[in-house]
Amino acid sequence: MHAALVRELGWTPVGVDLSGGMLRHARGRLPVALADAVRLPVRDNSVPAVISVMVHTDMPAYPAVLREVARVLTPDGLFVHVGVHPCFCGGFAQSWTDKELRDEVGASHWPLPALLNAFGDAGLAVERFSEGGAPLPVVLAVAATTRPGTPRTPRR
Ligand SMILES: C[S@@+](CC[C@H](N)C(=O)[O-])C[C@H]1O[C@@H](n2cnc3c(N)ncnc32)[C@H](O)[C@@H]1O
């Protein structure tokens, strides 16, 4: 969906998803790979940037995905997360409990502290935040980097 913009910004996008159907939808616009985001088919320290777009609420293991992102990024790599805002999720907010929405559609809610702490625990240093949507900011974006010396093992 965002491949053209990514190219305009000077990057070369490759799309990764677990779903063959989603990849069929995307592959006219960018090269794609069928893979689990917790086990990316990519060498350590080899990718200059990773973007995660509207996926973390579909990923119960998102902290493990963030660790995988930190593994594949180059030491000065950039990570951009764009996802459902943990605080302002519109109509979702009222039914976001274990017994309602989450059970029905499998969505995972990441409270703001849990989401942001998971970046640091994965060795990603948060640089910028941005919100989008009106009248409520239903999207939260986070830009983070890896830096030489940033711990990449979970903190206790
Ligand atoms: C809401 S869709 C967003 C798709 C796309 N990023 C977009 O913005 O149009 C969430 C996607 O996450 C994918 N997904 C869920 N868990 C995944 C995992 N562990 N690894 C890779 N993709 C996953 C689903 O297959 C689904 O296509």
For 127: left if phi > 0, alpha if psi spans -120 to 50, otherwise beta; the answer is alpha
Mean of pLDDT values over 46-54: 96
CATH of 40-145, one of 3.30.1860.10, 3.40.50.150, 3.30.70.270, 3.40.718.10: 3.40.50.150
What's the gap in Å between 149 CA and the centre of ligand 1? Answer: 31
Whether residue 127 is predicted with pLDDT greater than 70 in this model: the reply is yes
> 138 or 141, which is more confident?
141
Query: Residue ranges per domain, the chain?
Result: 1-35, 40-145
Question: Is residue 131 in contact with ligand 1, taking CB distance under 6 Å?
Answer: no
Alpha-carbon distance 23 to 97, whole Å?
30
Q: Which atom of ligand 1 is nearest to the CA of 22?
A: 27
Question: Is residue 105 in contact with ligand 1, taking CB distance under 6 Å?
Answer: no
Question: Is residue 22 in contact with ligand 1, taking CB distance under 6 Å?
Answer: yes
Mean of pLDDT values over 83-88: 89
